[in-house]
Structure 1
Amino acid sequence: MKRFAPVCNEGSTAGNALTAGEVLQDNELLNSINGRFQMGFFNTTGSNNRYLGIWINDLYRTVVWVANGDHPIINGTGMLYLSPDGTLFLRNSISQDVWSTGSQFSRGDPQACLMDSGHLVVNDTKTGKVLWQSSYQLSDTLLPHTPLGYMKLLDSMLEIQLSSWNITDVDPFPGQYFRKLDPFKRYELVTFRGSDVIYRTGPWDGNRWNGFPEMTQDLVRFVVSASESGAYYWYEPLDPSVLWRLVLKSNGTTYRYYKNDSGWVEYWKAPDESTPSYAACGPYGIYSDGSCKCCVEDLFHPKNGKDWKNRIFSGGCQRNVPLNDTDQGFVTGQIDEK
């Protein structure tokens, strides 16, 4: 199983790191060493709310992570403080804590730095132990080499998932959609609206998800891994010079983008216009050629023909002849092992 444990103090500089007792003020930035990412405070369009976030360092300043999406600093400034025990505190202008990483227990000299991966990492510089990292608390964006799934930390299992913004590019408060690795060990990616499934990729077959036959690995390598210490999905560009991102938007659609000299290019989205919503065809219904059909048309018929004429398919299909215990149903027998 791949280890996602970056060491913060390798190559750290004053511009990309905080040491114990230091503060990142509202008008200051942390920069990743490769220059791709910046971390600081920002406002969204039309808002006076202040957020701590990480963005891509270009003309678009595309935000990829937000610390306090559900607890904005209202009509004021903020500061980020690293305590001697390795805990990060986000405070408003009257020194009230609006967000923190939770209690950490550094026995050495903690340091927080913005990595070239686009993640903020807190580690103990004496032992190299990672105390916390922003990839444990994703927002709406999945960057390359970032796990999405379940990881064992100490004696508990951490679930890492994407959460949409309430309004894309405007309000980073967690929205109604989230995307996660299936918890029932089918190892597929599932998008939920609350507790309702709206899209799934189908199980992983070792190379692709079987519900996504057009998926290729010609530009990006996809990995699904599972062991006793957890299960997760991650991806990596085959050309490391190209920046990619996966975004769950506030309408429930997941987009994959890559960046070229002209800006961000949409590579694919799911679901798209050709994909029906999850379970749209109802029980015993299948989606084919742009419409719903009964799974076996000579054995099933639409449960409500009037609804189907009006393209309301959620009622599904039912058998022409109900099952009974004489001539229909499952038959017990032995497997021919030849």
Structure 2
Amino acid sequence: MAFSSTGSIFLELFLVILFIPIPGSCKGADSITPSVVIEDPETIVSTGEIYRLGFFSPQNSSNRYMGIWNNVSKESVVWVANRDKPLLNDSSGAITISEDGNLVLMASNKHILWSSNVRNLSQNTSVQLLDSGNLVLRDNSNGRVAWESFRHPADAFLPTLQITDNNRTGEKVVLTSWRTLENPDYGDFSAGIQASAIPQVFIWNGSRPHWRSGPWNGLILTGVTDMYAVYLDGYRLTRDEYGTVSFTRDYYGNILMKIILKPNGSFVQTMWDEARRNWNVTWVAPIDVCDVYGACGPFGSCSLRNLPMCSCLKGYEPVNYEEWVKGNWSGGCARRSALQCDRSDSSSDKSRGDRFSMLANVKVPDFIEVTVGRKDECEGLCLRNCSCIAYSHDPGIGCMFWRDSLIDVRQYPSGGSDLYVRVAYSVLEFVFVLDEQRDLKVIIIVPVIAGLTVISISILAFWFWRTKRNGTERKRKKQAYPLDSSEMALRDDVVEVSLDELPLYSFNTLAKATDHFDTANLLGKGGFGLVYKGKLANGKEIAVKRLSRESGQGLQEFMNEVVVISKLQHRNLVSLLGCSVEREEKMLIYEFMANGSLDVLLFDPSQGILDWEKRFNIMQGIGRGLLYLHRDSRLMIIHRDLKPSNVLLDEDWSPKISDFGMARIFGGREDQANTARVVGTYGYMAPEYAMRGRFSEKTDVFSFGVIVLEIINGRRNTSFYDDDMALSLLEHAWRLWNQGNFEEFIDQRIYSPSLVAEIIRCINIGLLCVQEFPDKRPTMSTVLSMLGKEIAILPSPEQPAFTKKPTRNHLLSSSSQSHETTGSLNNVSITVIEGR
């Protein structure tokens, strides 16, 4: 009996210990009942262990909040209860069901900070966290859902959550951004559906529209071209009998997906990558400056393919021309010529009716009116109504009309809708005059063309004879490689290129060297064409850039590169060995670079890691190459397309700048220019060049600064749609710089405490190079002096281009974190940030 009694005591003690709550453990399965209290840091988890409810503290904050987050990461918060009433430095909060049946959050003094606040509940209620992320309060006396978190969302749009609008009652369900990354309080931006004639999704900054999706046509939001992609399918819009319009996304299976409305007013969609254990960004809006609501003002159209990006619709002109040319397009445009409807009855031009000018592939304007009708009926319906100033048609919507204003029009390369803008007859009159005079012009032009043709044939015959003779003489010169004796046939469109000092290769020679351009020898491809690895008969390895016949820009870049790079000799510039112009083929032959391009080594995780010593040497080498182009060559040369893919590495990891197809030569005392044709790669283009076509050596300095920051961070500028509110690498770097959190920016693969001071110095240099205004950026000679520490004390950088202006809260928080670049770094701590 004694043994039995002792065993019973030990058993009871074991059971008591077994059920003692462990900090951070689950209190129960997925539910809360009146007898259950969830105390910080306890949690409950949904049945499928997808979402968790409990307490959390935002980044860099000790305040505690009741919230729901994806179970994969506590930083992936999707809902917050007490957004504006945090537990201030208090970890004694509790979640339970009160005596009136509501779900409540209490402080340590039993004071209720937050409540579901439902009236007329029975005392028999329970709360359940669903696998959808929805927290529901059920009245068990009748089985109905009395309250749910999906009806009171925070900043996250999850599958099956509905954003709603009812014009009759004014009731809306909207998302609201956090105030800042560290503060879940209600921010400036909200997002929801607008239940007009044709519903649209909006992001508002206060009461002003910030972004608009374009109208819903039953399948997609027509102004979101990415919705044609598979991963954005599955959205659904419904309208019930009470007038409530609901927009939702069907459940997304086993894939975790969320769209967060960021504090800066952007939608960022991410999906969980289980293999890499991180969130991948799959969609962002606004995606660029043209996506911001009304970027070009009333009657203006925005297109990043144009220079400048804003233009007036046909028949309209800038309201304020001086402001327009300065890049201030907010005033928009006004009609240039009166419409037929606006003329008096006595006008002699009454017979000349209004016409329509088509603008293809656009996000149609806001303030849409709709009439059921076929496409061929829309024009007549608009013409018969004097207040109609434009129309469009969509098979899922019908005829769309506009009366007072055309605002928020943007053009896409493809997708979107066709917009027909009403214009006065006089605006298009010259087109019809040309049509009427066409027959007369043909009578005059045909004999002239015939005479010119005879003269041209005679000139071409003489030119071919001269070309053949010059080709024979050229073959005798040393610079012509005697690897193939087949005769060259130069096409007339490259005759302007001086090839006398450049070795010529035959097509057969290059075909043999590349195994007839076998894909196994393919090194890369771009807008120009394909690049192959080859080996000549003498064993020399080469890289062959072959102009694609489908390339619309290759000929101009081909000729430009031959002229520019054939004259350059520098250890940090790729050497052009020769070219080939034969069989309607154009090819450039370069020295082969054993370690490929910098972008692959930096951004491809399957590649080996570049250590800091190599990265720093690459920075210096690129800088020396640019300095040669800007200052030390015979003429100043601006590269205009400097990016990691155009930086090649030889067997010793020395960088060499390549691809001079976009380069421009300056002569005499020139140091800057304008162009009507902006070329290059977004993400590396300086703002004055991208927006106004103005370029100088400071344009290349900006691109260099972006590359420096990419080398340090290990990620692309253009793909840095992060979960921490930064929409580019520049913005991410600037935010961390102001916080003094330098080490967070450093690629953790190369991080070492002994290297921190040197790397921070390079971050400073990179930020100096990407400042918004060209006169603030250093020259390449100054940059190299900074890298070589010949300039010991570095100036503080100003705000980079393409980053949002700091808010007052940001200025206040960062003012206490100001720093001297050359000061002590002992107070810098390492902070691991995981994006929401």
Aligned-partner Cα distance in 2 for 1:331–1:27 = 67
The structure with the larger Rg is: 2
1:43 and 2:96 are equivalent in the alignment: no
Q: Deviations over 1:80-135 (max 9, x none)?
A: 12024421121111111111111333336210111111121110234220010111
The match for 1:164 is 177
Residue 310 (structure 1) aligned with residue 326 (structure 2): yes
Q: Where in structure 2 are the equivalents of 1:8-47 lying within 5 Å? A: 14-47=28-61
Superimposed CA distance per residue, residues 1-27 of structure 1 (whole angstroms, 9 cap, x where no aligned partner): xxxxxxxxxxxx932111124321112
Partner residue of 2:190 out of 173, 178, 190:
178
Partner Cα distance (2:166, 2:113) in 1: 27
CA distance in 2, matches of 1:320, 1:189: 33
1:244 corresponds to 2:253: no
8 Å CA contact 1:84–1:109 kept in 2: the answer is no
CA 156–86 in structure 1, closer or farther in 2 if over 3 Å, else same = farther
Q: Kindly provide the amino acid, as one letter, of the partner of residue 38 in structure 1.
A: R
Contact residue 237 and residue 244 of structure 1 kept, 8 A: no
Look up the match of 1:3: none
| Residue among 310, 316, 319 paired with 1:300 | 316
Aligned residues of 2:165 and 2:194 also touching (Cα < 8 A): no
CA distance in 1, matches of 2:170, 2:229: 30
Counterpart contact for 1:246–1:256, Cα < 8 Å: yes
1:127 aligned to which of 134, 138, 142? 142
Please name the residue that 1:4 is paired with. none
Instruction: Quote how far apart the aligned CAs of 1:273 are.
Output: 2.1
How many pairs were matched up?
316
Q: Residue 212 of structure 1: CA displacement?
A: 1.6
- CA RMSD of the aligned region, Å? 2.4
Describe the shift of the 1:151–1:286 C-alpha distance in structure 2 as closer, same or farther (beyond 3 A). Answer: closer
The whole-number CA distance in structure 1 between the counterparts of 2:384 and 2:228 is: 40
1:52 to 43, 57, 66: 66
1:224 aligns with 2:240: no
Instruction: Decide which moves more: 273-282 or 241-250.
Output: 273-282
- Over 4 Å off, 4+ runs: 155-158, 327-333
Q: How far apart are residue 244 of structure 1 and its match?
A: 0.6
Q: Distance in 2 between matches of 1:59 and 1:281?
A: 41
Select which of 291, 295, 304 maps to 1:280: 295
Alignment correspondent of 2:675: none
Q: CA deviation at 1:243?
A: 0.9
Between the aligned partners of 2:166 and 2:126, the Cα distance in structure 1 is 23
Residue aligning to 2:744: none
Give the SS at the match of 1:286.
strand
Within the candidate set 194, 197, 200, 2:209 is matched to 197
Deviation of 1:322 after TM superposition, in Å, equals 4.3
Cα contact 2:33–2:96 (8 A) shared by 1: no
Give the equivalent residue in structure 2 for 1:114: 129
**Which has the larger share of helix?**
2
Question: Shift of the alpha carbon at 1:306?
Answer: 1.6
Aligned to 1:233: 247
CA contact (8 A) 2:316 2:336 kept: yes
- Report the 3-state secondary structure (helix = DSSP H, G, I; strand = E; otherwise coil) of the residue aligned with 2:226: coil
| Cα displacement (A) at 1:34 | 0.3
8 Å contact from structure 2 (residues 191, 204) kept in 1: yes
CA distance in 1, matches of 2:291, 2:227: 18
Greater fraction of residues in strand: 1
Q: What per-residue deviation string (whole Å, max 9, x for no partner) do you get for residues 10-66 of structure 1?
A: xxx932111124321112111101001111011112222110000111245410100
Residue of structure 1 equivalent to 2:83 = 69
1:275 alignment partner, SS class: helix
User: Aligned equivalents of 1:243 and 1:216: distance in 2?
Assistant: 21
Q: Which has the higher contact order (CA 8 A, sep 6+)?
A: 1
Inter-partner Cα distance in structure 1 for 2:97 and 2:146 = 12
Q: Deviation per CA, 1:130-157, whole angstroms, max 9, x where unpaired?
A: 01011111011011111111379xx977
CA distance in 2, matches of 1:305, 1:255: 36
Asked whether the equivalents of residues 70 and 174 of structure 1 are also in contact (C-alpha less than 8 Å), the reply is: yes
Gaps of 5+ in 1: 1-12, 334-338
Closer, same or farther: CA 279–249 of 1 in aligned 2, 3 Å: same
SS of alignment partner, residue 260 of structure 2:
strand
CA distance 1:280–1:59, shift in 2 (3 Å):
closer
Counterpart residue identity of residue 90, structure 1: L
**Contact preservation (8 Å) 2:176, 2:189:** yes
Alignment TM-score, normalising by the size of structure 2: 0.36
SS in 1 for 2:118: coil
TM-score calculated relative to the size of structure 1 = 0.86
State how far apart, in whole Å, the 1-side matches of 2:204 and 2:217 are: 22
Unaligned runs of 5+ in 2: 1-26, 345-349, 355-381, 386-836
Q: Distance in 2 between matches of 1:119 and 1:157?
A: 24
The 8 Å contact of residues 84 and 110 in structure 1, kept in 2 or not, is answered as no
1:102 aligns with 2:117: yes
Contact 1:70 1:172 in 2 (8 A): yes
Deviation for aligned residue 1:158 = 4.2
Identify which range, 318-327 or 54-63, moves more after superposition. 318-327
